Amino acid sequence: MKILVADNHTLFREGFSRQLQRFGALTELQEVTDFAAVEKLAQEGKSFDLIFVDRDVLGADWKESFKKMHAMFAASRLIVTGESESRGDILDAFGLGASGYIPKKSSDSLIINALRLIVDGNAYVPPAVLDGMRRTGESGRILSHALPDGKNLTGRQSEVLQHLSNGLSNKQIAYEMSVSEATVKLHINALLRHLHVENRTKAVVTAQRLGILQA
């Protein structure tokens, strides 16, 4: 896996890169500190699987710069990092095609967890953003970015997932939802497909990591 880190904050960039080097999938890691260097790499025909770009590197008109970067590296997954934890900024990044947004003020453990998800092929949405949107009924706007297959969970699937996290058996879930056990099994199978996991335990753990469920 080829990764580019574009960040002009030396301490953060070096620490961030050290964490990425812990992943066995990494084959090449390159660092740049400004947008001109990013453009030069594109002109040289460089390609990357993952690109982490700090909003400061994108400049004041970061949205336009991100669009350019997205066009220059159309085959790459772009993840934005930044000081801002504004829900609006994070949603804007996803709206522009970002595959993740990592607030720099996040704890070390949360950043490491986010990197693990991203390197594994998943998108990353800060849990607080998803939680806030669920409360306002807007989670559909970005939930599709959080799921590995790009689809949203249905209301019933979300309900089953919540029951699974509470440790209920299929029979108990069927009783709580007033449906048959066969229907519950269908919902669980759909969840496993959406989350790319093999069993219900992994489904709950993965959903928590993605921010779909609170840990």
Same-domain status, 164 and 61: no
Q: Are strands 50-54 and 77-82 parallel, antiparallel or unpaired?
A: parallel
Residue 127 confidence (pLDDT): 72
Nearest to 3 by CA among 87, 111, 91, 77: 77
Beta pairing partners, 4: 30, 51
Q: Give the neighbor-by-neighbor strand order of the sheet with 28-32.
A: 28-32, 2-6, 50-54, 77-82, 100-103
Q: pLDDT: is 129 or 68 the higher one?
A: 68
Contact 55, 80 (CB under 8 A): yes
Q: Is the pLDDT of residue 174 over 70?
A: yes
Task: Please give the tally of structural domains in the chain.
Answer: 2
| CATH number of the CATH domain containing 101 | 3.40.50.2300
Q: State mean pLDDT over 48-68.
A: 95
pTM as predicted: 0.67
Give the distance, in angstroms, between the CA of residue 4 and the centroid of all CA atoms in the same chain.
Answer: 17
**Over residues 34-55, mean pLDDT:** 96
Minimum mean pLDDT range among 114-118, 146-150, 191-195: 146-150
Instruction: Decide if 138 is inside a domain.
Output: no
Residues 162 and 126 in one domain: no
For residue 136, pLDDT over 60 is answered with: no
- 124 and 171 in a single domain? The answer is no
d(CA 95, CA 21): 29
What distance in Å separates the CA atoms of residue 192 and residue 201, rounded to the nearest whole number? Answer: 10
CB distance 63 to 36 below 8 Å: no
Write down the pLDDT at residue 154.
Answer: 75
- Contact indicator for 41, 53 with CB cutoff of 8 Å: no
Q: Which domain holds residue 156?
A: 147-210
Q: Tell me how far CA of residue 107 lies from CA of 8, 92, 119, 160, 209, in angstroms.
A: 20, 23, 18, 30, 14
In which band, very low, low, confident or very high, does the pLDDT at 206 lie, cut at 50, 70 and 90?
Answer: confident
Q: Which residue has the higher pLDDT, 122 or 80?
A: 80
